[in-house]
Amino acid sequence: MPRSQTGQPGFLGFVHRRRRGAELFLLIQALVVGIGGYAAVGIGVDGEVPTNILTYGGWLALLIIACHVTVRRTAPYADPVLLPVVAALNGLGLAVIRRLDLAEIAQAAGAGREPKTFATDQLIWMTIGVGLFIGTLSVLRDHRVLQRFTYTSGLAAIVLLLMPIMPVIGKETNGARIWVDLGPVGMQPGEVAKVLLVIAFAGYLVVHRDALALAGRRFFFVDLPRGRDLGPILAMWLISLGILVFQHDLGSSLLFFGIFLTMLYVSTERPGWLVVGAALFFAGAFFGYQVFGHVQSRVLDWLDPFRAWDDGSQQVGLSMFGMSWGGLLGRGLGAGRPDLIPYAESDFIVGAIGEELGLTGVMAVILLYGIIVERALRAALVCRDGFGKLVACGLGVVFALQVFVVIGGVTDLIPLTGLTTPFLSYGGSSLVANWVIVALLLRISDQARRPVPDLSSDEPSEAETTQVVKFA
């Protein structure tokens, strides 16, 4: 059996190494994706490499190398694959947003108006996200400290979720009241709330796991939970329904309830919770469809994407047209018309990638997200404490659910929900929160992959020697 550096066998017989050299090699390839994509956009649109390629590439490389140095110094045993995958996605997203900006600049020049661009702001948000990534890894040396803030995190998450419906700072955009306006800065509190909710769920489920795992009534080969244990899932269901009712945000409602339900199932290993959760979800969905017009509109647009074409509801249809035009290999960066899709820089960036990089590009993006989820679940599997397992699993589920509902909505697999694509879409709140999530995953994986302390010595230390004191 392989043994660790301390002479003890690693978890499940494996001995993890630091692999920071492998991480650096993968990061160089991720930078090639980001900087190469930026150069390809310039060649495709203007026929030449952008003049600021050295400045842009240098700043992007500086941010990524800063992340690598921080991981090397503060979390040497962290997963070596996670950071390069995130860097590649972020770099690709910046290149696609820049491509959309160039189209907007050309259209604005023709119309004689001021262009509205996003790439520079996205790079600034990435810088802030990297700063928080470095700060999180530098300050948080043990993820188990977060368990002390279980109820504080839950309370803070609820306050953040209530902020968009407050009368002064709340702001409604495109039919969803999910923004708060803090002077010159606007943000989506739900993006931060999802991180806090995962911490709160994990802390609660670790303590109450045994009570929630007790068998209840058996119904059709499924052990359903007892009625008095349904309080947590009913509370989360009502919160999710409240988000749907007051904020008109179908995506966040589905995301938060899905995170809690998955973590509840993982902690208790009882399929009965999935049965109860699915019943509550479909009951809430049916209620929302019957009562709220925006939910009905989303469902009808899903069933027929071209139903309201003349009324301006063209996003899904244009996205599907663009992806079909892109075909297998795409038109090439700068050679398509993704700017025709409304909100292509945020909600429909996958449609823009599908048009210019084709089905191959979309599958590559989905594969990168699959790697993130797999590495999160791998960290949960090898983690030695229950709280870390649940936090890593919950954060992996955040990525899995968010990518599923976004790409599913863009491709008309499910009704459109309005969430952002992690690391690709324009949006400061989402980008910053996702960089913090990656820092938490790296911290947990560092703790999980560290060698087991050597406890095999038979010689008791001086501190462990029992001393007998006789009183006269």
pLDDT in tens, 60-81: 999 999 999 999 999 999 999 9
Average pLDDT over residues 271-297: 82
Q: Is the pLDDT of residue 5 over 90?
A: no
pTM for the full model?
0.88
Average pLDDT over residues 160-172: 81
Average pLDDT over residues 155-169: 84
Q: Is the pLDDT of residue 241 over 80?
A: no
Half-sphere exposure of 231 (CA within 13 A, CB side): 7
How far apart are alpha carbons 42 and 387 in whole angstroms?
47
pLDDT band at 369 (very low <50, low <70, confident <90, very high): very high
Q: What is the dihedral of CA 124, 125, 129, 131, to 10 degrees?
A: 30
pLDDT digits (tens, 9 = 90+) for 390-438: 999 999 999 999 999 899 988 888 888 777 899 999 988 899 999 999 9
How far apart are alpha carbons 257 and 166 in whole angstroms?
22
pLDDT band at 457 (very low <50, low <70, confident <90, very high): low
Question: Which among 250, 253, 324 is positioned nearest to 293, based on CA atoms?
Answer: 250
User: Could you give the residue ranges of the DSSP H alpha helices within 383-427?
Assistant: 386-410
How far apart are alpha carbons 439 and 242 in whole angstroms?
30
Average pLDDT over residues 106-119: 86
What is the three-class DSSP state of 218?
strand
Question: Which residue shows structure tokens 């079909």?
Answer: 324
Give me the pLDDT at residue 13, please. Answer: 58
How far apart are alpha carbons 374 and 356 in whole angstroms?
27
Q: Taking the CB of residue 23, how many other CB atoms lie within 10 A of it?
A: 21
The more confidently predicted of residues 291 and 195 is 195
pLDDT band at 472 (very low <50, low <70, confident <90, very high): very low
Domain-wise residue ranges, the chain: 19-449
Share of the chain above pLDDT 70, in %: 87
Give me the pLDDT at residue 216, please. Answer: 65
* 107 and 339 Cβ atoms separated by less than 8 Å: yes
